[in-house]
Amino acid sequence: MLTSIRKIINYPAFNHFITLVILLQAAVLVLETIPVFNDYYLIFEFISSIVLVVYIVEAALKIASSYPHFSTYFKNGWNILDFSIIVLSLLPLSGGYTTIARLIRLLRVTRLTNRSKEMSVVIMTIMKSIPSMVNIFLLLALLFFMYGIAGYHLFSDIDPVHWGSLPKAVLTLFEILTLEGWIEVMSPATHVNPLYGIFFISFIVIGTFIVINIFVAVIVRKSEEAYKQLEMNIANPVTQKEILFEIKEIRKKIEDLESRLST
């Protein structure tokens, strides 16, 4: 029985079916936003209910396949996400909570992120990059703070639209960081004093060409690590606990056979 369940959840056709169900839910969410299909509301509700049932059955099969170590199911981040979506979908939301219910349905579509190797690598890369990106974001925050204060004191009288307050200055710096329209932002200041151009050029060099490139380098490195980890998981899909469980089962069968032969 346990072997059959594991074969089902690992069968490619089953995974393709789940993907089609997720796409069906996505299609329903799109159609619900088109006024022409407002009369089909009950049909969309029925389809969403069927999708939820499929999700529950899939989760039940996965939990059953992890017997007797059910905790292994919740050690997988994707399984935790799937289970959380199911629990949220089962909440009795109605009346004023209809919008929340629809947003929860939207979460079901996020399951597409783990349906392919490429998407899994992207998500793993983001998750692995978070610790390193925290330091980069702190560096950027310090850079924005220093240049924001300096920009406010230097240019608030010259160009109050962009530098009239600290929030405006920070927003302007973000615009400069994207290299979008930075020359237009710099022009009022350089017309007063050409040396003010040093402020803008230094910020672009430090913020865009150094910090952002470090950010990209971290993403690339973590992406390579994610690919290697995914390849290792594919090459070694069976966990140590599963192997030990199978060995115990074989031993039990051998002991039963020996006891029968001895009698």
Q: How confident is the model at residue 196 (pLDDT cuts 50, 70, 90)?
A: very high
Domain boundary assignment for the chain: 2-114, 119-249
Q: Coil, strand, or helix at residue 213? A: helix
The stretch 13-34 carries a mean pLDDT of: 89
Q: How confident is the model at residue 78 (pLDDT cuts 50, 70, 90)?
A: confident
Task: Tell me the torsion sign for CA atoms 216, 217, 220, 221.
Answer: negative
The stretch 232-260 carries a mean pLDDT of: 65
* More confident of the two residues 49 and 245: 49
The stretch 219-237 carries a mean pLDDT of: 68
Lowest average pLDDT, out of 93-102, 120-129, 145-154, 159-168, goes to 93-102
Listed residue (235, 240, 232, 236) closest to 69, CA to CA: 240
The CATH number, out of the four listed (1.10.3720.10, 3.20.20.70, 1.10.10.10, 1.20.120.350), of the domain defined by the range 2-114: 1.20.120.350
d(CA 90, CA 55): 11
What does the buried/exposed string (b/e) look like for 149-162 if buried means 16 or more CB atoms within 10 Å of the residue's CB?
eebbebbbeebeeb
pTM over 0.75: no
Computed over every residue of the chain, the mean pLDDT equals 82
Over pLDDT 90: what percentage of the chain? 27
119-249: which CATH architecture?
Orthogonal Bundle (1.10)
